[in-house]
Amino acid sequence: MIEFLRQRAFVDFLKESTFAVNDVIVKAWHVTKRNYFSIATLCFLMFITSNASGLMAFFLKDVSSGLSTLMALVFVLLYFTINLSLFKYIFHLLDDEEGDVTIVGTLPTRTQIIRFTVATLYFTLCIVIAGIFLMPVLFLIDPLLRFLVNIGWVNSFQAAGDMIIAVAVALGVMAIFMIWIRISFFPFFIIDKNAKPFDSVKLSLATTRGNFTKILLLLLVLGGFYFLYLFFSYLQWPITAFIVNIVSSFIIVPLSSVALTIAYRKMVNEYKGDENPDIIHNIV
């Protein structure tokens, strides 16, 4: 009976998560459809900036390392500016969709760009720390695998070493992915709440607590076309893969930006926690 109730609760939880994702996708589609060209233009500018920085670094690598570094920094700041403009523009659409919203009017302030840059460093640091905290797990796995070698369950110490590396990589990727999902909403707090860098990371961690499954389902839905592209590429169907890639680039990418912004708004509206949350109580 208890097991049945647990299964029923889990099914209800999945249904609730699915409905929440459906609501986000439907609303995002309406907003994207009405303002497609402006949103797609900002996404295209991000794409051009990202690729132009790579080309510029390639051509300047043999000229001057200082100039190459300077240009890379300029393109990074430009990319950050366009990215924040995109989120700020979508916020204006959500708050006043019928009003006259211009892209120029949604440029982020210098303070917001600086905070976003610093918060990105915090974001990277959190991922590194997550990897460091996993290192003690390897010391626990090592004697266990040595014991399995001694009793004959594992063929050799070489095989045990390979297993340790495989487990370490799997745990590392899983931890990084979970941390990435939990903290990746920090730019929205900088734009929407004008939060400070570290506060934006803490707020992202707090508001995503209990919403991991919903966010994961949303990402799986939005990333479906990319998985289809990989699938058709694996089957060596180049024309089909090209069509799927075009649809993903021109429709799914703008839709994803709007959907993530709407998901952020829903989580913030449902958040009942502290305005200045701590990290420890919001990790799990």
Residue range 66-71: mean pLDDT, rounded: 69
Distances 187 to 56, 81, 84, 284 between C-alpha atoms, Å: 27, 11, 7, 21
C-alpha count within 13 angstroms, C-beta hemisphere, residue 133 = 10
Q: What is the pLDDT of residues 73-113, one digit of tens each?
A: 777 888 888 888 999 999 988 887 666 666 677 888 889 98
pLDDT of residue 99: 61
Is the pLDDT score of 41 beyond 70? yes
Concatenated DSSP letters of 28-46: HHHHHHHTHHHHHHHHHHH
pLDDT of residue 138: 61
Q: What is the largest CA-CA distance in the chain?
A: 73
State the pTM of this model: 0.78
User: What number of other Cβ atoms are within 10 A of residue 75's Cβ?
Assistant: 19
Are 175 and 134 spatial neighbours (Cβ–Cβ below 8 Å)?
Answer: yes
Q: Provide the token pair at 140.
A: 């626990």
Residue (of 260, 268, 265) closest to 203 by Cα position = 268
Q: What is the pLDDT of residues 117-137, one digit of tens each?
A: 999 898 888 777 776 766 666
